[in-house]
Amino acid sequence: MQTNSAFYLAARERFPALAQKADRKYLKYWNEQPLAAEPYSWFESAANALNDDMQREDSLVECSQFFEFVTNVFASASEEVRQCIDVSFVENLFWQVPPAKAAAYWSKLPPPLQTLYLGFHNKPPI
């Protein structure tokens, strides 16, 4: 994947239920609809939507599938997309999720994304 816009569109197409959750988060925070031209904030909203699921201990399969999708994109992405994944998505994962609730999701986060998370936070969320 070469552009953040392509990554955004692919994520929305492949994960429509998560896209709806992320859109609601985005709209609540920014008071406007997300745009493919500016996906950084949307991926932060996607991370926050997943964090809500983690808080409820819900959607483990969906989270795991999205983590795998992001990891696969990261493996062959341009530097622009890799930066978006790192800064916009991974750094916002597990925000305010209690360690006991984060454990199952952390175990599903593939090693490349765990490495990014640890590189920013210096410790796992559990």
Checking 35-39 for CB contacts under 8 A at 24+ apart, the result is 36/5, 36/8, 36/9, 37/5, 39/4, 39/5, 39/7, 39/8, 39/84, 39/88
Structure tokens at 117: 């998370």
Q: Can you give the pTM of this predicted structure?
A: 0.93
For residue range 6-53, list pLDDT tens digits in order. Answer: 999 999 999 999 999 999 999 988 888 877 667 989 999 999 999 999
Q: What digits encode the pLDDT tens for the residues 93-116?
A: 999 999 999 999 999 999 999 999
Residue range 59-102, pLDDT digits in tens = 999 999 999 999 999 999 999 999 999 999 999 999 999 999 99
Q: Report the pLDDT value the prediction gives residue 108, as an integer from 0 to 100.
A: 97
